[in-house]
Chain A
């Protein structure tokens, strides 16, 4: 069964057309692999950034009734095995007026425990960093900044900081109308709000919202004391953080029935996120158990409806959009591979026609039908596999050096294929997964096989006598 190898070598040695088919396969695999790797890298990067500003798991009450019993809630969560930290939060929509009228998603957090459940502490910028980021509109802080000081968040919302900002503000504009002894509440906004010029450090803004308790409009005065950069554009533009206690006061969240302040929910950090579903189940049980207890019991949590979600579930739509985008692109790009397989098909058909006589001679010399089928099939699969291997290799090389290549392209043509202001990325992220390689190679080989099988079967069915009849 080795004459097939022998003959295939001789046939392929003298022809360039089959190699064009192999090249087409290589190009198809190459582009598919690169695109999938970049999409995957992009997805991971997105995910990482979204994850950073969210905690692993969130226990959330309904929008109107919210949750009460902050202390026993936190206690219940912290006592559950697998929960590393828990922190309360409030979330509301607010409108403010600066140069324009705009809205923000206002999050009230506990400055001391929030850094333990999310990366907010890491995203919080120093004054010097804010200057740098405002100077360069596309600058993104590197991931490997020194770990934040756990006190930073508390300092940011402290009276001291608010006074300092106000003092600095009053020097420029004495008409702000606040006394240094009683400064407004601190507000940390996203860097894009500063970059777009809507707000500036030290600005005193009036935020309007509604109290979910009294349904009355509520107004609070805040001073911009800091900024953060999460890397997710939408968040950096719209999210704002304040101290949870101040926000509770402003929104008038006192719950008469429970004789306690309401909160939107609590954020949890898990020791092992892969266990999220189990741990969530346990937290749910523990909180449920406490909600059943007699209200006089110290552990009791007043009953409210609630839901527990992982951060991925919270941002399901966004994450799924990226995933679906990736799938659609992969499906479209598979057309390239199918096209390459069609090329293999055509070239083998031509080869069978051209070598019709040779195949007849082979049959006369003792080759079996299946031997001839294998001869053609082998060539097709050889071309396909060679193409796939080179495509993979090329894709891998590109992915390894994608940023250097992008930089070279930029220097040569002055065009940025991947503008940092749109994707908010300094570097093109790329991540090659073996699943994606399988996803690319399996259809390539299947298409290649089908493309080779038809000409091969056809070659096997040809009548050797007819082939031998004419010169």
Chain B
């Protein structure tokens, strides 16, 4: 990837703060005036000690949590969304269309089969009237994504019968079904052995290159961090140095 090319940031965070109020009027400052830009087709890794606020940051960016102050700006095809300033419907639409989530614990729905799990974000995001005509297209895309993550032929399997690595692959395919701009991964291999982790890392990197999706990944795994375009170390609620270039 060419770092020098001036591209639009897909996501900008400006002065992001997140405080949790504790008992007895005390409060815990987790994010402190944090700034972050993620450019188009960029893979950024965030590392840091446990409890430093990495997950909290991801939740704020993923619009599941609301920052105490600061601004989040999302860009897509010349369109801009600013938070705060979004209503519930817009936040949900952004979560659905703009962002893809990959969690440490996979979080597949056990009552659906693999294919349905992958299709779920599209099912959630499509209005009833359009579903009939979109259904085949979505299903085809889900099948091709499963193929990409190496799980073709497993469409009808129940998630409960998959191995951890396979589940995470399904989760990655699910995150990509709506072709999001930004993939947020919170310790995607935190629950997997090193061998399986390595395969997932390779897959993430490969998908990143194939689809050009920006990826923000939180990890404790040096291998995954080393594969990112940029590596940010989080200390005390902000990044150690705003533009810490990678060495590879």
Contacts and interface: CB of A to CB of B under 8 A. Distances in A.
B125 A361 contact: no
A366 B124 contact: yes
A368 B92 contact: yes
B128 A2 contact: yes
A198 B62 CA distance: 93
Nearest to A366: B96
Interface string B57-98: 001001011000000000000000000000011001111110
B88 to A, nearest CB: 6
A3 B124 contact: yes
Contacts of A6: 123
A365 to B, nearest CB: 5
A365 B124 contact: yes
B75 to A, nearest CB: 19
Interface residues of B, number: 31
B127 A1 contact: yes
B109 interface: yes
B225 interface: no
Contacts, number: 70
Nearest to B178: A366
B111 A365 contact: no
B127 A366 contact: no
Nearest to B59: A465
Given A358-B109, A465-B64, A465-B65, A364 B101 contact: yes
A369 B103 contact: no
Contacts of B95: 363-366
Contacts of B116: 10
B131 A2 contact: yes
Which of A7, A362, A364, A366: most chain B CB closer than 10 A?
A366
Contacts of A468: 64, 103, 105, 107
B212 interface: no
Contact of B111 (A14, A364, A464, A470): A14
Interface string A328-371: 00000000000000000000000000000110111111111101
Interface of B: 59, 62, 64-65, 88-89, 92-97, 101, 103, 105, 107, 109-112, 116, 120-121, 123-128, 131, 174
Interface of A: 1-3, 6-7, 10-11, 13-14, 357-358, 360-369, 371, 464-465, 468, 470-471
Given A362-B120, A465-B65, 11 more contacts: A1-B127, A2-B123, A7-B109, A358-B109, A363-B64, A363-B95, A366-B92, A366-B95, A366-B97, A368-B92, A471-B105
